[in-house]
């Protein structure tokens, strides 16, 4: 239940930020930024948020985000909004 609720929270937050993702039933979501994500990843790291780049898998426009607790997901979404200049 925690994972399902977290997935819904992230999907809702990503939708509000105008981002897409690959639908998932796992414990992570691959977020589509429609551009190279190296700078976004570095900016999130500076915010204290760790995500996984997947460029090595042929997906340079995606970041892999693990589903966390409600608070962790909120922290990620808040940091992402700041990094993208939307928060």
Check pLDDT > 90 for residue 87.
no
Residue with token string 């976004």: 40
Check pLDDT > 90 for residue 12.
yes
Give 87 or 29, the one with higher predicted confidence.
Answer: 29
Query: pTM for this structure?
Result: 0.94
pLDDT digits (tens, 9 = 90+) for 18-63: 999 999 999 999 999 999 999 999 999 999 999 999 999 999 999 9
Task: Quote the Cα angle for 74-83-73, to 5°.
Answer: 15
SS3 9: helix
Residue 86: pLDDT band (50, 70, 90) is confident
């Amino acid at each position: 239940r925690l994972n399902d609720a977290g997935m819904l929270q992230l999907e809702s937050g990503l939708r509000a930020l105008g981002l897409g993702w690959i639908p998932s039933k796992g414990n992570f979501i691959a977020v589509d930024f429609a551009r190279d994500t190296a700078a976004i990843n570095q900016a999130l790291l500076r915010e204290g948020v760790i995500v996984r780049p997947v460029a090595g898998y042929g997906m340079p426009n995606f970041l892999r985000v693990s589903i966390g607790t409600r608070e962790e997901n909120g922290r990620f979404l808040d940091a992402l909004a700041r990094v993208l200049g939307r928060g």
